Structure formats: C-alpha cells, structure tokens
Amino acid sequence: MDTLGPRMERSTFELLAPEVVAALRAVSRALEAAGLDQSLSELVKLRASQINGCSFCLQYHLNLARQLGVPERKLDMLACWAESGAFSPRERAALAWTESLCRMPQGPVEDAGFEGLAAHFSPAEQAQLTAAIAVINAWNRIAGSLRFTPPSAGQRC
C-alpha cells in the first residue's frame, strides 16, 4: 500500500545523482543569464508543477515567487488563469504554452499554442521558455515520483 511519505529525500537524491542535479541547475542558471524574466518563469514553473502534481516543486516555486514579489492575486488565481483577468497577454501566452507542453502525452502541441507564444515572445524567448518548461517537467518527475518532502512555506530557497 502506498504511503504519503517520501520515497527518497531531496538531500539523498542530490548525494546519489550529483551530476544530474548539477546539469539541471546549470540549465536553470543559463536561462536566468539569458534574461528569462524570473517572475514569469516562476509562474510557468508553478503551473507546470500544478499540472504534474508535484508538491515539492509547487511549494519551492511558491516560495521563490513570493520572494520575487509576484502578486498574491496571481498566485491565488494560477490554477484558473484562463478564466482570470489577473494575467497579462504575455503571461497568458506563456501559461498556455506551458499547459501544451505538459500535456503532450495526451496529444500533439497545436499550432495555435505556438502562434500565441510567437505573438508575445521573440524566437530567443520562445527557446528559453520552452527550455524552462522542459527543466521543470524533469524536476517534477524526479521530485514528484520520489515524493521529496516539500520545503516549509516561506522558507528561503
């Protein structure tokens, strides 16, 4: 029978797979250095973590978003962003793209989603955002499947 406890703690995973952790962190640093807006990036990571059901990543990125000053209204409305007026057209395009990529197993990524992205993001930003979504999906699969214990709310990341 399944329990709700961790299958492996984050610290153990980091000891057992240090090269994997270093590689994923290196991609994240490269995206930050390339200028991907951090507040937008956190919204995307939060939405992906909601879709993928990763409690560790959800709490981790909530903490980061709050540290960056992302408005609480956006954090509160993120699960229903498509019906909310809290998000800019650019944020909406990024969130729609996030959902398309996270839901690839259910069907192909539609051209309309990419066209919406292209209307608000340069080709370089499209590449960066797509890579950020790929990285959070990787972390969601690691932390979610191993059920890392989420950090405390408000914990500095």
* Alpha-helical segments (H) within the chain: 10-16, 18-33, 38-52, 55-68, 72-77, 89-102, 111-118, 123-146
Report helix, strand or coil for 40: helix
Per-residue confidence at 107, pLDDT binned at 50, 70, 90?
confident
Output 101 or 4, whichever has higher pLDDT: 101
Q: Which residue has the tokens 């066209």?
A: 115
Give the count of beta carbons closer than 10 Å to the beta carbon of residue 29: 10
DSSP state letter for 34 = T
Phi and psi of 6, rounded to 5°? -65, 145
Q: Which residue has the tokens 């990024």?
A: 94
Output 16 or 113, whichever has higher pLDDT: 16
pLDDT (0 to 100) of residue 86: 97
Classify domain 10-146 by CATH architecture: Up-down Bundle (1.20)
Domains of the chain: which residue ranges? 10-146
Per-residue confidence at 2, pLDDT binned at 50, 70, 90?
low
pLDDT (0 to 100) of residue 13: 98
